[in-house]
Every structure is written in C-alpha cells, then in structure tokens.
Amino acid sequence: MNQYEKIYKCTMAGLLSLFIGVMFSVNILTPNKTFSYAENRKLEQFPEFSFRNLTEKKFTSNYEKYISDQFAFRDFWISVKSDMERTIGKKENNGVYIGKDGFLLQKFSKPEEQDVKSKIEAINNFHLANPNVKKHVMLVPTAISILENKLPNYVSRGDELTYINKVKKSLDKDINFINVYPVLSSKNDEYIYYKTDHHWTTKGAYYAYQELSKNMKFTSTKNESFNIKKITNSFYGSLYSKAGFRNIDPDSIELYQSKKADKYKVEYIDENKTSTSLYEMNNIKKKDKYTVFLNGNHPLMKITTDNTNEKKLLIIKDSYANSFIPFLLSHFSEIHVVDLRYYKESLNMLMQKNKINDMLLLYNTNTFFEDASINALSE
C-alpha cells in the first residue's frame, strides 16, 4: 500500500468517525419529539426498562423504534431517502403509488368475498327492517379509478370498479344505488381529488351532489350560487404521511358557501356541543386540515336547518361525506349524521324516534370494504 492510499484511507476513516461522533452528540443533545407532523403520528419515546422487558426482547425492540423515531434531522433523512427512491424509479411505498404530476394514489386491495357478502346482507337486512324509509347508497371510487391517467406506467387501477358493481347488483332492487363513476370520470381533468390525501376535493363532492339530486328528485344548487373560497394552499394529507414520498407540492382546500347564508344549527350529540357552522376554521392551523369539515368525525350529529319541508335525512358515512354534507342544507329540514365506527346505539330506534324519510349510505370504496362496523346495520 503506497503512501497516498494510506492517507486516503486514514482521512476517510477520520471523517466517518467524526460524522458518527457529531451525530451521536447531536442525538444526545436534541430533545425528544412527541409528534411528527409530516407523518401525522406520535413518535416512540424512551421505553421503560425492566428485566422482564429485556428478557422478552421488548425493550430492545422498542428501543430500536425509539432511536429510529428520535434520530436527529429525521425528516431531512426521510426526504433524502424519498428522493433517492424516486430517482431509481420506485413507484410504490406502503400501498401508495407515486403518480404523474406528483399525485399520490392509494392502492386498492381486494376484500375477502365473505366480507363483501356480509356487508351486502347487512344493508339488505337494514332495508327490510325499515321498509318505509327510502334508501340510497353511494360508493365513491377513489382516485386510482378516476385518475387512471395519473398512474405510473405499467400500473393498473385494480378491481375497485368490479367490486362496486358487485355491490350494486347484489343490493335489494328497492335500494337506489347512485353511480357517481361516470360523472367523476368525465371530470378527471379537473381538481376533484387531492394530490396528497385520500379524499375527494370539495369540487369532486359537488359533482357527486349533483348526481344525488337527480336520483333523489330535488333541484341542485347551481355552482354560481356559491361563494367559493380557498382557505389554504398548504395541505399535506394522509397519503403524504403514509407513503413517505417528499418534495411534493401541497394541496389547497376550498369551501363552497351558499350566497343565501342559510341558517342552521349543528348538534354534536355525544359531545353535548352545538355550533352554527359546519366548518372548524381553527383546524386549518393543524396537520389534518381536512377536519375543517365538520371538525372531523363524530358518532352522531344532528343538523337542523331553516327549511320547512319536513324532509329528514339520515346519513351513514365515512369522512368522504364531511365535505359533501354542506351541499344538502337547503334540501332538508333535518340531517342526522352517523359514523358507525363510533356510534354504538340502535339505528332503528334513531330512525323511528326522529321520523326519518330518507337514508343515504355514503362511503369511499376503500373504507367501505375495510370497515367491519358496517355489519352493525343488521343488528
């Protein structure tokens, strides 16, 4: 080994040792963080030590998670990793595709056939138990089916539409299935899904609302009758947190507010709170800015409007409905909103007590097939 090789190896070893020493010192001196806003989750804290945890290997496992979560400049290193993976052509991470124009698209996973059958039976049984209530079902396809042109090359949209059609064909003939795929597909060149989040945008919800109005025989409010207000340009949603891809442009969120200034009252039943707005504007300052709609998800809400038509609607829903519900205020005197993931009371009793006329079940397809609480409809 000549003199220059020795100098080079010593220099590299010295620099590596210096880097390790600096990072070790920085990690010791940097205070622990409790929450990652980029990943939208709590970070691991220093695990409790005990000989039992040590012998069962729980301590070492949790300590590795702690070191990973609390490593200095974690977000920077994640960003570097993301850039490298995109450079070498990686298309998917944690079930999320990185698509064209910076769109993140959630992969559709095939549900178990028995799970599909159970959900369909639950809806049909609920229909038979409440024969005097008109039922409407809206399964909203996710961006992977609508924005097929944004998918990476050689990636297909999967079987989402196949399973939507399977539900449609299996429901009782008296249940009105509202197919929003054609209208959303025809608008796929517009901003109808967020780029970094799994929800549709308010514009996407508006197009589905127009389709609902045709099926429920009421006149939808025209686009020009709303004040459309952009309330943020810095929304990074659930898919951004889940996928780990970075250096993507954020989304914007718009509110469609009626120029008529409808009067209404919102009651959060389980929280024993009331409001005169469907929007929680302070949530724009939070990571999950989509919770500006309805202040997130709640077991049971009751919205009383100034409409005197005595029409009462029950909405059984996931979070896709949160940006959809404001469009319905001018068409019903009461809207009862149930999230089955949190609501544990009898739906039949709720409908009888409030003399409900119509029921709308509104879910995005992924949540519908993943959410076991839908089976509670048959109870």
pLDDT, tens digit (0-9, with 9 covering 90-100), for 125-154 = 999 999 999 999 999 999 999 999 999 888
Pair 98, 131 in one domain = no
- Mean pLDDT computed over 177-188: 97
Same domain, 19 and 80: yes
Mean pLDDT of 49-66: 54
DSSP strand pairing (273-275 vs 264-268): antiparallel
**Which residues have a Cβ under 8 Å from the Cβ of 169 and sit 6 or more positions away?**
none
CB 171 within 8 A of CB 177: yes
The pair of three-digit structure tokens given for residue 342, joined into one six-digit string: 């949190």
Q: Which residue pairs, CB below 8 angstroms and at least 24 apart, start in 167-171?
A: 167/116, 167/119, 167/120, 167/137, 167/139, 167/368, 168/139, 170/120, 171/120, 171/123, 171/124, 171/137
Query: Residue 185, class by beta-carbon neighbours within 10 Å (0-12 exposed, 13-18 middle, 19+ buried)?
Result: middle
Q: Tokens for 319? A: 């979070």
For 79, the token pair is: 């960003």
Output the pLDDT for position 274: 95
What is the residue whose two structure tokens read 């008529």?
Answer: 260
If asked whether residues 146 and 94 sit together in one domain, one would say no
Q: Which two tokens stand for residue 189?
A: 């060149």
State the total domains in the chain.
2
Which of 281, 253, 284, 279 is CA-nearest to residue 266?
A: 279
Q: Where does a domain end: 52, 75, 102?
A: 102
pLDDT at residue 34 is higher than 90: no
* 184 lies in the same domain as 138: yes
User: Both tokens of residue 112?
Assistant: 């178990």
Residue with tokens 């119509």: 358
Task: Please indicate, yes or no, whether residues 94 and 115 belong to a single structural domain of this protein.
Answer: no
Decide which of 84 and 334 is more confident: 334
- pLDDT, one tens digit per residue, over 91-126 is 888 889 999 999 999 999 899 999 999 999 999 999
pLDDT of amino acid 269: 93
Q: Give the lowest-confidence range in 52-56, 158-162, 248-252, 281-285.
A: 52-56
Question: What is the extent of the structural domain holding 346?
Answer: 110-378
Same domain, 83 and 149: no
Where does a domain end: 102, 129, 144? 102
Are residue 132 and residue 195 in the same domain, yes or no?
yes
Statement to judge: residues 197 and 86 lie in one domain: no
Q: Do residues 218 and 92 both lie within one domain? A: no
The residue type at 210? Q
Residue 56 and residue 184 share a domain: no
- Using the predicted structure, report yes or no on whether residue 363 has a pLDDT greater than 60: yes
Q: What is the pLDDT of residue 60?
A: 57
Q: pTM of the prediction? A: 0.81
pLDDT band per the 50, 70, 90 thresholds, residue 35: very low
What is the CA 163 to chain-centroid distance, rounded?
A: 20
Q: Which of 68, 102, 136 is at the close of a domain?
A: 102
Same domain, yes or no: 186 and 284: yes
Between 72 and 197, whose confidence is greater? 197
pLDDT class of 71 with cuts at 50, 70, 90: very low
pLDDT at 329 over 80: yes
pLDDT of residue 232: 97
Residue 177, CA distances (Å) to 168, 229, 248, 337 in order: 6, 32, 36, 19
* Banded pLDDT at 173 (limits 50, 70, 90): very high
* DSSP classification of residue 293: B
Query: What's the pLDDT at 28?
Result: 57
The percentage of the chain sitting over the pLDDT mark of 70, rounded to a whole number, equals 76
Q: To 5 degrees, how large is the angle CA 80–CA 82–CA 86?
A: 120
Residue 254 dihedral angles phi and psi, to the nearest 5°? -115, 145
Looking at the fold, whether 168 and 91 belong to one and the same domain comes out as no
| Mean local confidence (pLDDT), 334-342 | 96
Kindly state the average pLDDT of the residues 348-356.
Answer: 93
Query: H helices within the chain, ranges in order?
Result: 3-29, 51-55, 58-70, 74-87, 113-129, 143-146, 160-170, 181-186, 202-216, 238-243, 347-354, 365-370
